[in-house]
Amino acid sequence: MDCGILTSKTILLFLSLVFWGAGAALAYVGAYMLRSYDTFESFIQDKQTLIPAAIVIGISVVMFIFGLVGCCATLRESKVGLCCFFVIIMLIFAAEVTALVFSFIYQGKIGEGLEKSMSDVYDKYDGKNPESQAVNLLQSELKCCGVYNMSSWLDTPWFIANKTIPLSCCKNTTQCNGEPTQPNQFYSDGCEPKLVKLLHDTMTYGMLVVLGFAIIKFFGMLSVCVITCRSNSRRKGYQAIYG
């Protein structure tokens, strides 16, 4: 086995390992995106924003399988296998580009309708129902209060009935009674802009990871082309010597 073929095999085996590693990383990214959306699903009306995450997880599963195909095709020096591997890489590359496009499109739509959906959830707050749990989690996790600020609570049925603001708005729950007469005890930032920023950051993180792996796939396609051409040249050379 000449040095060129050995190097080519090493490159393809490395790319197969990259497939497995990339699959694991993409699975983590997709799960992280879904978990971020699931945590605050009560405030997100447009479920289409989950499409990029679903695509990413689907790609990760396929990449584990195709990494195995790449190893087998490389070790056997199968022209058909290498061609299939090239098609596989090209399809995954196209899927990753699709995920990037969807991410770019829906990143700009994250904030659409969020204000209304959050206001509806806040209006249903009674301290016990699932909406209340979602609001408390949102405010404590993001360290925010109300849709825009503490005053957003003043028009809600909860405040009208109880004359207090939920303790999840408080900076220090042990020293807070929820009365609006002491605004310094509440978080000053509203939850709507913080939630939009969180979802934007999550989407951007996913886009950057997918972009990085798309670049790897591009060089993978080039490597398969080089290896196939090198293998064909070697076979023709042997035929000419022994012909």
Full DSSP string of 212-225: HHHHHHHHHHHHHH
pTM for this predicted structure: 0.62
139: CATH: 1.10.1450.10
Instruction: Quickly state the pLDDT bin for 42 (edges 50, 70, 90).
Output: low
Highest mean pLDDT among 27-41, 103-117, 197-211, 221-235: 197-211
Residues 80, 143: one domain?
no
Q: What is the pLDDT of residue 158?
A: 92
241 pLDDT tier (thresholds 50, 70, 90): very low
Q: Based on the domain organization, do 28 and 121 belong to the same domain?
A: no
pLDDT in tens, 185-199: 899 899 988 888 888
Q: Are residues 85 and 69 in the same domain?
A: yes
Q: How many C-beta neighbours within 10 Å does residue 148 have?
A: 16
Give me the DSSP letters along 109-132.
TTTTTHHHHHHHHHHT--SSSHHH
Residues 105 and 138 placed together within one structural domain of the fold: no
Q: pLDDT value at position 242?
A: 34
CA distance 176 to 184: 10
Render the burial of 198-230: b for 16+ CB within 10 Å, e for the rest.
bbeebbeebbebbeebbebbeebbebbeebbee
- Residue 4 in contact with residue 230, Cβ under 8 Å? yes
- Residue 29 shares a structural domain with residue 128: no
Residue with tokens 């509440």: 186
pLDDT digits (tens, 9 = 90+) for 122-151: 999 988 888 898 899 999 989 999 989 888
Residues 153 and 235 in one domain: no
| Enclosing domain of residue 35 | 3-110+202-242
Do residues 21 and 92 both lie within one domain? yes
Are 83 and 138 members of one domain?
no
Q: What is the pLDDT of residues 171-185, one digit of tens each?
A: 888 888 888 888 888
Contact between 206 and 29 under an 8 Å Cβ cutoff? The reply is yes
Q: How many residues are there in the chain?
A: 243
Mean pLDDT of the chain: 79
Strand partners of residue 186: 170
Residue with tokens 């405040």: 159
- The verdict on 143 and 171 lying in the same domain is yes
Residues 6+ apart with CB under 8 A from 157: 123, 125, 126
Give the CATH number of the domain where residue 62 resides.
Answer: 1.20.1260
Residue 43 and residue 78 in one domain: yes
Query: Domain count of the chain?
Result: 2
pLDDT at position 59 over 60: yes
- pLDDT for residue 157: 92
Percent of the chain with pLDDT over 70: 81
Q: What is the pLDDT of residue 153?
A: 93
* Cβ-contact 203, 52 below 8 angstroms: yes
Do 180 and 220 share a domain, yes or no?
no
pLDDT at 236: 56
48 and 80 co-located in one domain: yes
Q: What is the mean pLDDT of residues 218-230?
A: 74
